[in-house]
Amino acid sequence: LSWPITVISLILLPLFLIIALLIKIESPGPILHKQRVIGSRGRFFEAFNFRTTYTDGNVRLMRNREQWVALLNGQNAQASDPRVTRVGYFLRRWGIEDLPRLFNILNRQMSLVGPHLLNQNDIARLGVRRVEMITSVKPGMTGLWQIRAFNTTESERRDLEIDYVSNWSLQTDL
């Protein structure tokens, strides 16, 4: 599985370079964002994606109380989120902000298909048993959670992930 990912990464390298240049031109700061997440068997690792927000994004949000309150209330305010750069909107809209996670796949920390990434806050929210079940496999760049659970609640999405882990098959992944 790793040689196809290596070939894909090499093919995508020009796109990576263009995106990196656009991110740097639009706003100062790092090109990549890294997040500490829980992988297979509860091991922590850094998951990468392209930075889609301004480095002072929260300051920008605090300047506009209505947007801040809308985001806190979970309203669909992403379209006007002042933290997100123009390049970031494009990357998010086309789902390509996570392409650097191919390197996490090459490092065998993730798989192409699997449960959504969990972070330390998810442990308290989900409970140890559910976290152990979800982390019994590698997290994925995509999965049922992304395809089927786009407009569902977090608990429905987690139930879907547990169902995925419990009933995994190659057919499901395909």
User: What pLDDT, on a 0 to 100 scale, did the predictor assign at position 36?
Assistant: 95
Residue 144 backbone class (left: φ over 0; alpha: ψ -120 to 50; beta: rest): alpha
User: What pLDDT, on a 0 to 100 scale, did the predictor assign at position 83?
Assistant: 87
Distance CA 12, CA 33 (A): 18
Residue type for position 5? I
**Nearest CA to 115 among 77, 72, 148?**
148
Q: How far is CA 132 from CA 91, 123, 128, in A?
A: 32, 9, 6
User: What pLDDT, on a 0 to 100 scale, did the predictor assign at position 43?
Assistant: 92
Tell me, rounded to whole angstroms, the distance of Cα 149 from its chain centroid: 14
Please list the pLDDT of the chain residue by residue as tens digits (174 residues).
Answer: 567 777 887 888 999 999 999 999 999 999 999 999 999 988 999 999 999 999 988 888 778 777 777 776 765 555 678 889 999 999 999 989 999 998 899 899 999 898 888 888 887 788 788 888 888 889 998 887 777 756 667 777 778 888 888 888 888 777
**pTM as predicted:** 0.79
111-113/140-142 β-pairing: parallel
Distance CA 81, CA 67 (A): 7
Q: What are phi and psi of 118, to 5 degrees?
A: -110, 145
User: What pLDDT, on a 0 to 100 scale, did the predictor assign at position 77?
Assistant: 52
User: What pLDDT, on a 0 to 100 scale, did the predictor assign at position 126?
Assistant: 80
